[in-house]
Amino acid sequence: MENDLRKYFPFINRYSKISEILSDKNLASLGDAYVNFVYSLALSKVAGKPVGRKIKSDLLSLALKRAGIRPLLPQRTDRHRQADAAEALMVFGWLSGAISIKETLDTLARNGDMADNFCTVLKIILERSKIS
């Protein structure tokens, strides 16, 4: 199923620039739900029991900075908007087939700093997306 997502969500094919993805508020809104879902799955995997959490904007904005994506946003973009950009990129990565939920989950569930884990996911998406 995950390889066929472009068929179900053809709107994903309209993005030709990374800046379009990072600034799309509708994609960020979908990304918010997606990121909270995979974050909760990762926490559940680590805890060995169901965990439901919302990720903080500060953590996502830090991951965006560490991934080197922050310079692609306008200079005065606040942390909340930076987090929105990270969420948009993450859901784009999944919908475009650049990264699976399983790979995202496994990366987020690693030992270590969660911001670094999200940074790794963002870098994987950028590397595989073939969008400039």
- Give the chain as a DSSP string: -GGGHHHH-GGGGG--SHHHHHH-HHHHHHHHHHHHHHHHHHHHHHHTS----PPPHHHHHHHHHHTT-GGGS-TT--HHHHHHHHHHHHHHHHHTTSS-HHHHHHHHTSSS-HHHHHHHHHHHHHHHH---
Mean pLDDT, rounded, for 85-91: 98
Burial class of residue 102 (count of CB atoms within 10 Å of its CB; 0-12, 13-18, 19+): exposed
Mean pLDDT, rounded, for 1-24: 85
Residue of higher predicted confidence among 122 and 8: 122
| CATH assignment, 2-129 | 1.10.1520.20
pLDDT digits (tens, 9 = 90+) for 29-81: 999 999 999 999 999 999 999 999 999 999 999 999 999 999 999 989 999 99
pLDDT at 2: 55
pLDDT at 132: 73
pLDDT at 89: 97
Mean pLDDT, rounded, for 115-121: 97
The pLDDT mean for the chain works out to 93
pLDDT at 1: 46
pLDDT at 3: 57
d(CA 90, CA 72): 16
pTM: 0.93
